[in-house]
Structure 1
Amino acid sequence: MSEGAGGADGVAGGVGLTALLVAAARAIETHRHDSLARDVFAEHFVLAAPACAGWPVRIQQVPDGDANPLWGRFARYFGLRTRVLDDFLLRSVHADARQVVLLGAGLDSRAFRLDWPADCVIFEVDRAGVLAFKHEVLDGLSAAPKAARVPVPIDLRADWAEALTIAGFDPAAPSVWLAEGLLFYLPGTTETHLIDTVDRLSTGGSALAFEVKLDKDLLEYRDSPLYTSTTQQIGIDLLDLFNRESRPDSAGNLTGRGWSTSVRTPFEFTRHHGRGPLPEENDALAGNRWVFANKPRP
């Protein structure tokens, strides 16, 4: 593994390590008998990274199984999120969009595992080290994307819009954007700039999905089993990684710009699919919302 792939710019620590957490969750979901989403590449990311040696990739490897707050309930949340956002992206590309932009793509393998229309282009925007680690693993598996795939190695705090257009993105064509598990790590001003930029680069017929946390005080749930188990079992303190300043109303911002928006709780999709987390006491997922937005044609 190259130094960049595993170092500070990669997946060895900080927010980069959360990409491995989500990959482990997707691996566990993949091997469930009632799987909501299948990602055959996910376990290979986990097994390739020394930072997560010993992490499970199947629920059978967890002594207390689904009773484990991290590898049971939290992992099932990520499995549900994967399925819901998979469905959103595929609906969007079978409607108007032919460009897919994954912001903070991390170890997302959708370019390799979903059945895209033949003329789709998938742009993956993330730091160079994260993308390098992903490339090494997928190249080692001789994995082939199911659509044209364009990595855009850049930090989202830099001028990613210019890098994206240089890479071939066409603002005049409908696109579908995804910011999955991203915005709550960013300062509020960076989130606002990102949403503004997506709006500026999106023509009518475009769509966007993103995840936010609406908690008034994240520390209210600091003793939640999801947070404490993640810290104790794998050393990831999510509350230390989350940006805890006041969050912008990005859904309202888009509505004000003419987008049609829908703000949903994950629990709605749990009830729809019959699988996934439901509300509980002292719940770190209480403030999580999934936002879906469409920009109408003129």
Structure 2
Amino acid sequence: MVGTAHRSTGVEGVEGGVGLTALLVAAARAIETHRHDTLAQDVYAEHFVLAAPACAGWPVRMHQVPDGDANPLWGRFARYFGLRTRVLDDFLLRSAHSGARQVVLLGAGLDTRAFRLDWPPGCTVFEVDREGVLAFKHGVLGGLSASPKAARVPVVADLCADWAAALAEAGFDAAVPSVWLAEGLLFYLPSGVEARLVDTVGRLSAGGSAMAYEVKLEKSLLEYRESPLYTSTKHQIGIDLLDLFDAEPRPDSAGALAGKGWITSVHTPFDFTHQHGRGPLPEPNDALEGNRWVFAHKPRV
């Protein structure tokens, strides 16, 4: 049962920079959880927001947003994160039920899928992130007496360094089919780091493995600097996403996986808006225009 967490110590991992975006997504998931037409449920999300001084005053319910869904940040952008959560939840569970018993969350942030999804027996969820982020999450969830629904293994690692060694030391078995997730991660990483990360996933994946991740395809992110999503995020909560995104040309990670024999598919978020009947639709000067959700499967031998 979920109780009330006290304000947590050890919040430095989420108090600024990219770490703060994890709290943005948590607030969006909290709002999504309490919508009448919710796409995804995360009863833990609001507790992260309430525990971090950096987001004091942020909404966790739509009725706390004066202009409601008309608000670009807490309306449209938050709904985007809710849709993304649902689509990736479904992908992970399908993969697990198809035989991938290891789940690796790269840049796990404040992801609570180990606690809120109904995993099949024998699943292990590896959460890879920096120590400060994992410590903050551990403190909040511990205060709620939350119990994971699968074996949960936090892995402290820098994704710009040799995270594969830390994952192996934590018990990951490269001979076993796995499902990998890089949600809201790759566009913060230098191009070369993304390429190495995808190559490492390919190397560590047995046949029957799968991967999902998000990329941005714009030629220049600055073309969207005046997009309502970016300006409202900066002005309302002080997060300048364009300063956090890596500006280098992005690698063709889907093509790299396909070249290694993976079967890939690339979708716009709007594809899933139509599928689910709710979510963001295209609009002028749209910061979501270049977003793509990539799904990949490595065939069994």
Q: TM-score when scaled to structure 2? A: 0.97
Q: What amino acid maps onto 2:181 in structure 1? A: L
Q: Is contact 2:8–2:52 with CA below 8 Å preserved after alignment?
A: no
Q: Which runs of 5+ in 2 are unaligned?
A: 1-6
| Correspondent of 1:6 among 11, 16, 20 | 11
Aligned-residue sequence identity (percent) comes to 79
How do 1:144-183 and structure 2 match up within 5 A? 144-183=147-186
RMSD: 0.8
**1:205 paired to 2:179:** no
Counterparts of 2:100 and 2:8, CA distance in 1 = 35
Q: Is contact 2:182–2:214 with CA below 8 Å preserved after alignment?
A: yes
Runs ≥4 residues deviating over 2 A? none
Offset of residue 297 of structure 1:
1.0
How do 1:65-104 and structure 2 match up within 5 A? 65-104=68-107
Cross-structure match for 1:266: 269
Offset of residue 244 of structure 1:
0.6
Offset of residue 6 of structure 1:
1.8
Counterparts of 1:151 and 1:2, CA distance in 2 = 18
Q: What amino acid maps onto 1:267 in structure 2? A: F
Q: Is contact 2:124–2:150 with CA below 8 Å preserved after alignment?
A: yes
Offset of residue 2 of structure 1:
6.8
Cross-structure match for 1:191: 194
Cross-structure match for 2:4: none
**1:286 paired to 2:289:** yes
User: Could you report, residue by residue, the CA deviation over 1:152-182 in whole angstroms, capped at 9, with x for unpaired residues?
Assistant: 0111112110000110000000000000000
Q: What amino acid maps onto 1:72 in structure 2? A: G
User: Could you report, residue by residue, the CA deviation over 1:57-91 in whole angstroms, capped at 9, with x for unpaired residues?
Assistant: 00100000000000000000000000000000000
**1:54 paired to 2:57:** yes
Q: Which runs of 5+ in 1 are unaligned?
A: none
Q: Secondary structure at the match of 2:168?
A: helix
